[in-house]
Amino acid sequence: MRATIKKVTRCRSCANRLLVVLSLGKTPLANSFVKSDEKEKSFPLVVCICESCYLVQLGHVVNPELMFRNYLYTTGVSETFRRHFASMSTRLFAELKLTPDSLVVDIGSNDGLLLGSFKKLGCRVIGIEPASNLVSIAEKNGIPTINDFFSDSAVHAITVKYGRANLVTATNVFAHVDDVASFLSSAKKILNKDGTLVIEVPYIRRMIEMMTFDTIYHEHLSYFSALSIVNLIARNGMQVSKIEEVDIHGGSLRVFVKNRDARPTVAVQRMVSREIAARLNNVTTYERFAQRITKSKSNLLQFLASVKESKKTIVGYGAAAKANTLLNYCGIGVDYIEYIVDDNPLKQGLFTPGTHIPVLPSSALFERRPDCILVLAWNLVDEIVTKVRQNYGQFEFIVPLPHPRYVR
Ligand code: DWN
């Protein structure tokens, strides 16, 4: 049995020295919602940077068996993600010239939402998902899924039955992987020679600009720039053929990787040059980001205190993983936020890890009529505000980052 947590001293990409740039203290696992008042474990949340390839990464790795075998987050709750995945599948189907005979493999396939879109386009699909509870949902949705982490054994199980893949997708999973070299080695084995691996990861440049430090939690082991991911992919004998910015999860990178050992394309090199011009290859950029986080915390606490002083009640909307970093780091509990509503039935009736704020169905807004709603899933604020106004009437909405403010 692997240890619960291991300290990281070397870069997972190039094995060079790491420099600590930020500590958010000890916090519980962001998706480990608890029943009643059970005491959950907390782990150090320390952010480091490699002084050689500038990959930003956590200083500790929590055993993935603890985080991903039973997983409460489901992509299908949000209309925004349903639209995102529908447009992604249509785009990739056309651009990669997929056909009804094409095989599409999704790593970290969650509830099968993305593969459902490819299936509608006629592709053969197979998911790989370690969380047993999510595999049951995916299978009910008609998405065949291997219940395991991505590895050579999953590759073997797929290739003997389906052959090699035309497209492998990895949305919001590559940043969760410790052994990235093995991940890419397995990806090379499952892709056919013209195949494409498409990776989506939160973009650290947007995280720094928007001060969205709540994206930092134990599931997210790496925080990629184009510079660091291009370095990593090249080091593992694959080619980054294109990188796009996509407006999801507060700003992400969509990285197209080809199964050949070749230099990144000119367009990719230009994006890396733009990042170097923005000093993303300079440790002080990340140190300054870390220093600004303390101010974010005090701004939010002052804002919420002023709302409470005006005798208004505040509740949260979106029991997001990121919410738990924000709440735990800022010390925000039921003294500020009476409860959080969330439309994911897997989270309702549980309590937030560390702060123990109850999670209720959104119908509580109708029954209890709070004054203010703090939109903890700020990346989905438009969808949430529209939904609340349509179903529950008028409230004052607050978003916490980059600075706390009312949204109309
Ligand atoms: O990488 C990850 C990202 C992709 O998703 C995972 N490690 C975990 C997860 O992070 P998150 O929980 O911060 O993601 P979201 O999608 O920003 O969380 C949104 C939350 O808001 C969910 O709990 C669902 C909830 N929600 C809701 O209750 N009603 C969202 C919408 C739009 C709604 O209408």
**Residue 404: is the preceding peptide bond cis (ω within 30°)?**
no
Q: Mind listing the pLDDT tens digit for each residue in 318-340?
A: 999 999 999 999 999 999 999 99
- Per-residue pLDDT at 140: 97
Q: Mind listing the pLDDT tens digit for each residue in 47-80?
A: 999 999 999 999 999 999 999 999 999 999 999 9
Answer yes or no: is the C-beta of 30 below 6 A from any ligand 1 atom: no
What are the backbone angles phi and psi of residue 11, rounded to the nearest 5°? -60, 135
Q: Mind listing the pLDDT tens digit for each residue in 141-192?
A: 999 999 999 999 999 999 999 999 999 999 999 999 999 999 999 999 999 9
* Atom 24, ligand 1: residue with shortest CA distance: 318
- Whether 1 has a pLDDT exceeding 70, the answer reads no
What does pLDDT average to over the chain? Answer: 97
What is the mean predicted confidence (pLDDT) over 113-142?
98
Tokens of 401: 């980052």
Query: In ligand 1, which atom is closest to the CA atom of 175?
Result: 1
Judge contact between 61 and 178, C-beta under 8 A: yes
Distance CA 234, CA 12 (A): 14
Distance CA 161, CA 400 (A): 48
Answer yes or no: is the C-beta of 78 below 6 A from any ligand 1 atom: yes
Tokens of 308: 């409470």
Answer yes or no: is the C-beta of 296 below 6 A from any ligand 1 atom: no
* Atom 15, ligand 1: residue with shortest CA distance: 320
> At which residue do the structure tokens 């500590």 appear?
23
| Rounded (10°) CA dihedral 145, 149, 153, 157 | 10
- Per-residue pLDDT at 39: 84
Judge contact between 268 and 297, C-beta under 8 A: no
Among 222, 343, 347, 378, residue to substitute to test ligand 1 (most atoms within 8 Å of Cβ): 343
Among 29, 73, 357, residue to substitute to test ligand 1 (most atoms within 8 Å of Cβ): 73
**Taking Cα atoms as reference points, which of 44, 37, 375, 45 lies closest to residue 223?**
45
36 band by pLDDT with thresholds 50, 70 and 90: confident
Distance CA 232, CA 226 (A): 10
> At which residue do the structure tokens 């790795």 appear?
61
Q: Mind listing the pLDDT tens digit for each residue in 186-238?
A: 999 999 999 999 999 999 999 999 999 999 999 999 999 999 999 999 999 99
Answer yes or no: is the C-beta of 77 below 6 A from any ligand 1 atom: yes
**Taking Cα atoms as reference points, which of 109, 104, 149, 140 lies closest to residue 127?**
109
- Whether 37 has a pLDDT exceeding 80, the answer reads no
Distance CA 248, CA 250 (A): 5
Using the mean position of ligand 1's atoms as its centre, give its distance from the Cα of residue 344 in Å: 9
7 band by pLDDT with thresholds 50, 70 and 90: very high
- Whether 380 has a pLDDT exceeding 60, the answer reads yes
